[in-house]
Structure 1
Amino acid sequence: MRYATFVGAAALVTFFALPASAFDGWHLESSATIEGKGAAWDYISLDGASGRLYIGHRKEGLQVFDTAGRKLLKTLDNTATQSSNGATLMPEFDLGFSNNEDGSITPFKMSTMEARAPIKLGEELDTSHYDPVSKRILVNMAAGKDGTELVVLQAPSLEKVGVIKIASKKPEHADSDGKGNLFMASRDLELVYRIDMKEMKVTAEWPASGCGQANSLAMDAVNKRIFLGCRGSDKAKPAFAVMDSETGKVIFSQEMGGGNDGVAYDAELKRIFLTNGVNAVMNVFEQVDANTYRQIEALGTHAGVRSLALDAKSKKIFAVTAEGSADYAKKVTTTVSPYYANTFYPNTFKVLIYAK
């Protein structure tokens, strides 16, 4: 009895030390349909200054969506036949480019949305990441038998200046620490790379302990924290994890929805948002301090809502999805889910806007 009383007292102290946060109430504010034949998609990115959302709609091309008018502005030239997987934006140079699945990039002027001829980098690529300190871009090319070659480009010329070879065959999201380093998640090796973009070399490889298939990544550079969205594995459930960017130590992890492909951090709200397409849920965590995190809500979204973009000014969250089905006569990506959609119906592609 005395032991039970002691445990209860300790729990009470913890409760008063960390009072429950108020429910934010994130919800679907509106949606807008983009008509088209029906195609898969991947990355989305937002230029908050112009209110333009860039959508990698693969065989439909890189589509530019007006977030204020809730309408499609343009599909960029030279991005549909190349199959756009998303855009990398460099507003300081009025420059962006489409990351194309055929191994090319299509540069464009952000102010006018005028596209140039594609630049071929290889046979296939996934995405790329910009470091504003070194003014360099890291491009995730398709993996080879013994790993992946990450191509380094110099902005704004987009000249190839080097290649960084890594053992991972599934390099994923990356973010800059504002000091010339990019931190990149490796899904297959379940680790995080620290890459010096000036020296063009890997300077650390940290295991993401308890983070099965580390996939999405965002930085809190001020507090030196890395936020990871982990898809889960046969040894670990899908989880949100926090890593110290100086030591590589995982200081927090908690189970969340499956099929993660997006994470965003708002330093003002002290919120971390993670979109998970398999379980159709957006998990929202609060950053109490650099070492303390807690989940405050989980919003039911729609199947396929796995990528997101956060507008730091309006506090609106943008995502995309479409009505889809798994056609077993074609290849199904069973590493994500046995029922992962590979066929999408015409005129069902939507931009979803979440707010509180």
Structure 2
Amino acid sequence: MLSCAAALVLCLSGPAAAKPPASGPGYHLVKKLAIGGEGGWDYLTVDAAARRLYVTRSTRVQVFDADSGAPVGEIPNTAGVHGVALVPELGRGFTSNGRASTVTVFDLKSLKTLSEIKTTGENPDAILYDSSSRRVFTFNGRGHNATAIDAGAGTVGGTVPLDGKPEFAVADGKGKIFVNIEDKSVIEVIDSGKLSVEKRWPLAPCEEPSGMAFDEKNGRLFLGCSNKMMAVVDAGSGRIVTTVPIGEGVDANAFDPSAGLAFASCGDGTLTVAHEDSPDKVTVVQTVPTQKSARTMALDRKTHNVFLAAAQFGPPPSPTPDQPRPRPTMVPGSFVLLVFGK
């Protein structure tokens, strides 16, 4: 996951647009949870109804109470886990295990593993449930494809070839799935029933899109782009509606429909909050200081809180022929969860 876009503001004609909050929404740090433990992290997922927070941690998924922050349990043996998809009507959850190229199916109540499914491409990263087709989709980074899994049967139903490295995706609930192709800076639109790509939209000026969120009511996609912008895309036509500036190193986006707010979490230690004044006008209303490395997040639609994960890092090790650009080393025990609210 990773990235954001430039500036193109279109005037809205017709009914008066919603006004952004006069002094910003007032997001601030309300809680910092010292979690510690080994392993990096990737996506966070909130189950607003069940009040659980899922945090992927390299070889396991840690589960917390979304209100108190207390640990609830773990889903083990998820090598290289990236994301979690929840299917409450079936009482099941699904994890995308990047290193193992598998999906772990688990029980939502007990968190016990029910089965494991091999994906049809290497390094499954993003994962989602599409209610229209009743399928779980994994987006396989090295495989350049998506695996479709029958959520009820727990079996692979097909593969969708993609034109590059998929990063994140959202479903509209009506048979369409929108997926960022990071290395090509495009969106591909998948028909979730036919398991085929039906449209391909270039995203210039947005480069290397990573995070994505969806405003279902207005048909708008919010993309995090590596060139420090959030692009707003018409989900019907692929038109770039507008862009707003964000921080560096974005890796996740979210949209709060009741507040009309779009979020972008960036690794430079900022959370951009933008207000959707109208379907074609978006205004940055707050830039919230977080913590360096807090690049992924999850929005709790019940409380409107935003959860972010972060850690401290030391200097990178010396380069080697196999690792010419080594990454900084995570300081042991420094992993935290940050809770921001109004």
- Do they fold alike, i.e. is TM over 0.5? yes
| Secondary structure, counterpart of 1:204 in structure 2 | strand
* Residues 1-356 of structure 1 mapped to structure 2, 5 A cutoff: 21-36=22-37, 38-59=38-59, 61-79=60-78, 82-101=79-98, 102-121=100-119, 123-144=122-143, 148-168=144-164, 170-232=165-227, 238-277=228-267, 279-329=268-318, 341-356=327-342
C-alpha distance in 2 between matches for 1:133 and 1:265: 21
Q: Structure 1 residues 19, 203: closer, same or farther in 2, change over 3 A? A: closer
**Which residue is equivalent to 1:235?**
none
One-letter amino acid of the counterpart of residue 135, structure 1:
R
Structure 1 position 327, deviation (Å): 1.6
Structure 1 position 119, deviation (Å): 2.4
Between the two structures, name the one with larger relative contact order (CA 8 Å, sep ≥ 6). 2
1:100-154 Cα shifts (integer Å, max 9, x gaps): 121111111101111134323255322312111111122112425xxx1211111
Structure 1 position 340, deviation (Å): 8.5
Structure 1 position 339, deviation (Å): 9.3
One-letter amino acid of the counterpart of residue 314, structure 1:
T
One-letter amino acid of the counterpart of residue 128, structure 1:
I
Structure 1 position 171, deviation (Å): 0.7
C-alpha distance in 2 between matches for 1:330 and 1:98: 33
* Contact 1:215 1:230 (C-alpha < 8 Å) held by counterparts: yes
Instruction: Note the aligned Cα RMSD (angstroms).
Output: 2.2
One-letter amino acid of the counterpart of residue 333, structure 2:
N
One-letter amino acid of the counterpart of residue 264, structure 2:
L
1:146-170 Cα shifts (integer Å, max 9, x gaps): xx121111112221111111111x2
C-alpha distance in 2 between matches for 1:19 and 1:260: 23
| Secondary structure, counterpart of 1:324 in structure 2 | coil
C-alpha distance in 1 between matches for 2:158 and 2:67: 39
1:177-226 Cα shifts (integer Å, max 9, x gaps): 12111111111111111110001011110011210111111111211111
C-alpha distance in 2 between matches for 1:341 and 1:273: 26
One-letter amino acid of the counterpart of residue 266, structure 2:
N
C-alpha distance in 2 between matches for 1:225 and 1:328: 42
C-alpha distance in 2 between matches for 1:26 and 1:223: 24
| Secondary structure, counterpart of 2:217 in structure 1 | coil
Q: How much identity, in percent, do the aligned residues show? A: 29
1:59-93 Cα shifts (integer Å, max 9, x gaps): 3x1110112221222121322xx232221111111
TM-score by length of 2: 0.89
| Secondary structure, counterpart of 2:89 in structure 1 | helix
1:12-41 Cα shifts (integer Å, max 9, x gaps): xxxxx97873322211100111131x3211
Give structure 2 stretches of 5+ with no counterpart: 1-17
Q: Which stretch of the first structure deviates more once superposed, 119-128 or 284-293? A: 119-128
C-alpha distance in 2 between matches for 1:267 and 1:211: 23
* Contact 2:101 2:124 (C-alpha < 8 Å) held by counterparts: yes
TM-score by length of 1: 0.85
* Contact 1:76 1:113 (C-alpha < 8 Å) held by counterparts: yes
Structure with higher Rg: it is 1
Structure 1 position 328, deviation (Å): 3.2
Give structure 1 stretches of 5+ with no counterpart: 1-16, 233-237
The structure that is helix-richer by fraction is 1
Count the aligned residue pairs: 322
One-letter amino acid of the counterpart of residue 45, structure 1:
T
* Contact 1:276 1:282 (C-alpha < 8 Å) held by counterparts: yes
